[in-house]
């Protein structure tokens, strides 16, 4: 199809170059293709801000956006997926793997195609990650009303299924006239590139508006390098933070996702911690901010944290929370560091204000640099720093022990055994494996085990979605990470429950040549929730296959390896950890996505570390086990007000 022509000046017959006539869909796609981002290496070249568009076409987007994507397919690649939620997860993971510096868009039809995106929108919202959602919408004209798949509100004629995106979008707009793109697209781009606003943007695209033409200013489509917005700290907030920090003897840093997304913040964090002798604990989103073997890296913090980081956090008199939204898994349901003065460094004031913190609303690197300059030679108490290094070293020894233990002769391996085999399978030293591999996970027991035990050697080596803890993110997220980092080995670790929930993007990965290594840990059910259920006094019920209602044929015997092969991947089932390590080496050498399956123990977890997590237990129950669990729960809740806590989790 030819490029739409510029309007000609009526008097001279020469191209004036002032406007170009495009459909709304063409204008949308052309604008996205024109956005550039400075190269990550700081060079003069630039690269596209949008790495592409995932699309599943239907009657709500195929004629409008579909035609426009075809027209500009060389400037903005289009990728076909197999599930709308999954393709949005892939787009979100792509942005996460690029530390929010590049991103993707997704487009769907109306109806189920659109509402399938809502879960992914919520995931991006919780994790503060950019993704542009472009669901089709009903006819603005209402001439063919109702259309196929249209949701009708009995009290509001302006409502469509896309209104469900409003609470899970950082910016929402419904484009009811092509000219509205002139204001909506810059607003959308600002949200996607602003550290304080960052999250999902939804532009609902009615299908008749997609096809409407309009005379757009040609300069609207000029290539431009976007500016990423992150504020500098203000003096008053810095001074208040310094007052808290300089009176501390036993400070600690909690590194969240913002420590990774802020350009240069990991170097600033390392320099700050080293100069001032402050130990660092990492959240799920912040893991990898310091190399796993750095002397001041005390490991994971919180409910799924290390014994070292949690002990230090519970004794610290000042906690510097850098780029974390302080969810309950980080704070131990607000019991872990209640005794400490809290300083919240965050680009988003909403997150920085939590837990009554003294807030420094700023980019993480800028804030750490500014604090460091004003602190001069101030240091934490030398005994505190020494103890922190000792505890961190002891924890690293624990990790080595847990991930290299001999497999029990008559038992199944558990997650730590699998993690050890995966990391040992890399060529060269174990440290090199930790540097080069990217591990992807999301829900169940594995995020806890990985948070404690995975050795992340550099920023981005640890890619776990635990803000929304969304089952089904894993394989789709692995695809997005691989598209972002094709030179890296992307290893998806997933339980059988999450695999069954969403696995279709295995086929997409094969189709795109985006090789993944997928390790399926099959414990025959939802092992994590089964343990939590029993920890709260409940009977094993409706989680493991053996405890579910079954028909005369019983629970299925699922061959995950055969299923993977049916989707075009390589697949094999291994019997033990030694076979797993060998299979991993074969998978690393393979030319396509590989799925390696191993049976695991659904009851066993790593006892070391952890912290209490509040899960409400019924006040009234006929079961004695529930009443006992309630007594323990009441005791923990009572201790919260006095700064108490327990280095145990519920699951």
**Cβ within 8 Å of residue 524, ≥6 positions away:** 496, 544, 545, 546, 555, 599, 602
Q: Does 186 or 430 have the greater pLDDT score?
A: 186
Q: Which helix (H) or strand (E) holds 298?
A: strand 297-300
Using one digit for the tens of pLDDT, what is the confidence trace for 340-366?
Answer: 999 999 999 999 999 889 999 999 999
| Residue 644 pLDDT > 70 | no
- Does the bond joining 605 to the residue before it have cis omega, within 30 degrees of 0? no
Q: What is the DSSP letter of 194?
A: B
| Residue 264 pLDDT > 70 | yes
For the chain, the average pLDDT equals 94
Is the pTM higher than 0.75? The answer reads yes
Q: What b-and-e string marks burial along 591-600, b requiring 16 or more CB atoms within 10 Å of the CB?
A: eebbbbbbbb
Q: In the chain, list all ranges with CATH 3.40.50.970.
A: 6-225, 404-548+555-599
* DSSP 3-state of 116: coil
Q: Please give the CATH architecture assigned to the domain spanning 235-394.
A: 3-Layer(aba) Sandwich (3.40)
Which pLDDT score, from 0 to 100, does residue 14 have? 39
Q: How confident is the model at residue 601 (pLDDT cuts 50, 70, 90)?
A: very high
Q: Which helix (H) or strand (E) holds 137?
A: strand 131-137
What secondary structure, in 3-state letters, does 222-240 show? CCEECCCECCCCCHHHHHH
Using one digit for the tens of pLDDT, what is the confidence trace for 498-534?
Answer: 999 999 999 999 999 999 999 999 999 999 999 999 9
How far from 36 is each of 33, 71, 176, 224, CA to CA, in Å?
8, 19, 27, 6
| Proportion of the chain above pLDDT 90, given as a percent | 91
Output the six-digit token pair for 601.
Answer: 């123990």
- Kindly give the pairing relationship between strand 46-48 and strand 171-174: unpaired
| Residue 642 pLDDT > 90 | no
Q: Specify the CATH number for 6-225; select among 3.30.499.10, 3.40.50.970, 1.10.10.10, 1.10.1040.10.
A: 3.40.50.970
Q: In the chain, list all ranges with CATH 3.40.50.1220.
A: 235-394
Whether 74 contacts 172, CB under 8 Å = no
| Residue 289 pLDDT > 70 | yes
Q: What is the mean pLDDT of residues 260-273?
A: 97
Which pLDDT score, from 0 to 100, does residue 649 have? 52
Whether 16 contacts 5, CB under 8 Å = no
Q: How confident is the model at residue 645 (pLDDT cuts 50, 70, 90)?
A: low
Burial environment of residue 295 by CB neighbours within 10 A (0 to 12, 13 to 18, 19 or more): middle
Q: What is the mean pLDDT of residues 79-96?
A: 98
Q: Specify the CATH number for 404-548+555-599; select among 3.40.50.970, 3.30.1490.20, 2.30.30.100, 3.90.1150.10.
A: 3.40.50.970
Using one digit for the tens of pLDDT, what is the confidence trace for 171-197?
Answer: 999 999 999 999 999 999 999 999 999
Distance of CA 350 to the CA centre of its chain: 19
């Amino acid at each position: 199809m030819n490029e739409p022509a510029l309007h000609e000046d009526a008097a001279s017959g020469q191209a004036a170059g002032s406007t170009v006539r495009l459909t709304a869909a063409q204008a949308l796609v052309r604008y996205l293709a024109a956005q550039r981002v400075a190269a990550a290496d700081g060079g003069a070249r630039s690269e596209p801000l949008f790495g592409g568009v995932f699309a599943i076409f239907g009657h709500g987007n195929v004629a409008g956006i579909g035609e426009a994507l075809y027209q500009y397919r060389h400037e903005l690649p289009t990728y076909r997926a197999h599930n709308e939620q999954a393709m949005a997860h892939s787009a979100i993971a792509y942005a996460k793997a690029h530390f929010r510096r590049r991103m993707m868009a997704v487009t769907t039809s109306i109806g189920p195609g659109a509402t399938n995106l809502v879960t992914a929108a919520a995931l991006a919202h919780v994790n503060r990650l950019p993704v542009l959602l472009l669901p089709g919408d009903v006819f603005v004209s209402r001439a063919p009303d109702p259309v196929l798949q249209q949701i009708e509100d009995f009290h509001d004629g302006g409502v469509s299924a896309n209104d469900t995106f409003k609470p899970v979008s950082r910016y929402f707009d419904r484009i009811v006239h092509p000219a509205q793109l002139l204001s909506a697209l810059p607003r959308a781009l600002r949200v996607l590139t602003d550290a304080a606003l960052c999250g999902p943007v939804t532009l609902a695209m009615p299908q008749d508006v997609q096809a409407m033409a309009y005379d757009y200013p040609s300069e609207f489509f000029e290539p431009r390098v976007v500016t990423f917005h992150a504020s500098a700290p203000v003096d008053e907030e810095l001074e208040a933070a310094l007052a808290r920090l300089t009176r501390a003897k036993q400070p600690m840093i909690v590194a969240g996702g913002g420590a990774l997304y802020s350009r240069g913040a990991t170097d600033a964090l390392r320099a700050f911690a080293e100069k001032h002798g402050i130990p660092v604990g990492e959240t799920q989103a912040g893991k990898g901010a310091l190399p796993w073997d750095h002397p001041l890296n005390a490991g994971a913090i919180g409910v799924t944290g290390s014994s070292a980081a949690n002990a230090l956090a519970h004794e610290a008199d000042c906690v510097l929370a850098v780029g974390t939204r302080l969810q309950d898994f980080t704070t131990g349901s607000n019991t872990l560091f209640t005794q400490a003065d809290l300083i919240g460094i965050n680009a988003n004031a909403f997150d920085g204000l939590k837990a009554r913190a003294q807030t420094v609303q700023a980019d993480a690197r800028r804030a750490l640099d500014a604090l460091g300059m004003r602190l001069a030679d101030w240091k934490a108490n030398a005994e505190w720093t020494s103890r922190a290094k000792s505890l961190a070293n002891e924890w690293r020894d624990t990790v080595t022990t847990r991930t290299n233990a001999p497999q029990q002769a008559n038992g199944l391996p558990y997650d730590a055994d699998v993690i050890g085999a995966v990391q040992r399978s890399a060529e060269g030293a174990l440290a090199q494996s930790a540097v080069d591999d990217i591990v992807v996970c999301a829900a169940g027991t594995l995020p806890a085990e990985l948070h404690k035990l995975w050795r992340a050697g550099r920023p981005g080596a640890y890619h776990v979605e635990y803000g929304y803890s969304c089952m089904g993110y894993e394989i789709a997220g692995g695809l997005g990470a691989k598209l972002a980092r094709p030179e890296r080995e992307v290893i998806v670790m997933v339980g059988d429950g999450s695999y069954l929930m969403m696995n279709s993007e295995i086929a997409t990965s094969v189709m795109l040549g985006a090789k993944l290594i997928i390790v399926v840990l099959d414990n025959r059910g939802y092992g994590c929730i089964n343990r939590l259920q029993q920890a709260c006094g409940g009977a094993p019920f409706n989680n493991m296959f053996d405890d579910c209602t079954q028909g005369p044929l019983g629970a299925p015997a699922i061959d995950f390896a055969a299923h993977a092969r049916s989707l075009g991947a390589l697949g094999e089932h291994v019997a033990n950890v030694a076979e797993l390590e060998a299979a991993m080496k074969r998978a690393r050498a393979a030319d396509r996505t590989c799925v390696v399956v191993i049976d695991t123990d659904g009851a066993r977890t790593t006892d070391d570390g952890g912290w209490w997590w509040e899960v409400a237990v019924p006040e009234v129950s006929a079961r004695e086990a529930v009443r006992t669990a309630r007594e323990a729960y009441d005791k923990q809740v009572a201790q919260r007000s006095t700064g108490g806590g327990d280095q145990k989790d519920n699951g």
